[in-house]
Amino acid sequence: MSAKTKRIISIILMIIPSLMLIMSGIMKVTGAEQVVTGLTKAGLGNIITLIGVIELISVALFLYPKTYKIGFLLLCSYLGGAMCIELAGGQPPIAAVFIATIWMSVFLRDKNMFLHRAESKT
C-alpha cells in the first residue's frame, strides 16, 4: 500500500468517529433530551455539559496535526469510560468501535506511537 493511500485511509478513519463525537458533544452541551435522559440514568446528570465540552476539546486536539497525539490519548480515555458505562448498563459497546477506528487511523498515520524499538548499544 502506498504512503498516499495510507494517508487517505487514515484521514477517513479519523473523520468518521470525529464527526460522531462532535455531534455527541454538541448534543451534550445543548442539553438534548435523549442524551440528558440516558446520562441521568447512568448517574452523570449533573455534569453532562462538562462531559460535552471535554469531548469537543478532545476531538479538536485530535484533528489538529500538532496535537493529535494528546487528542488521541484523551479520546481513548473518554471512549474507554463510555464503553464501561455501556457495558455496565447492558448496552452494546458502540464506543469500542470508535476506539478501534481511532487506533487504526493513528496506526496508519504514525506506527511509532505503537511500536517501540529498543536501541542496541554497541
Task: Spell out the per-residue pLDDT of the chain, length 122, in tens.
Answer: 788 888 889 889 899 999 999 999 999 999 888 888 888 888 888 899 999 999 999 999 999 999 999 999 999 999 999 999 889 888 899 999 999 999 999 998 888 888 876 565 65
pLDDT for position 116: 72
pLDDT for position 119: 62
Q: Tell me the whole-structure pTM to 2 decimals.
A: 0.84
pLDDT for position 27: 93
Burial of 113 (0-12, 13-18, 19+ CB in 10 A): middle
Burial of 16 (0-12, 13-18, 19+ CB in 10 A): middle
pLDDT for position 41: 85
pLDDT for position 122: 58
Location of C-alpha cell 497525539: 69
pLDDT for position 54: 94
Rounded to whole angstroms, the Cα distance separating 122 from 109 reads 31
110: left (phi over 0), alpha (psi -120 to 50) or beta: beta
Could you count the other beta carbons within 10 Å of the beta carbon of residue 110? 14
In the chain, count H helices and then E strands. Answer: 5, 0
Beta strands in the chain, from DSSP E residues, in sequence order: none
pLDDT for position 1: 78
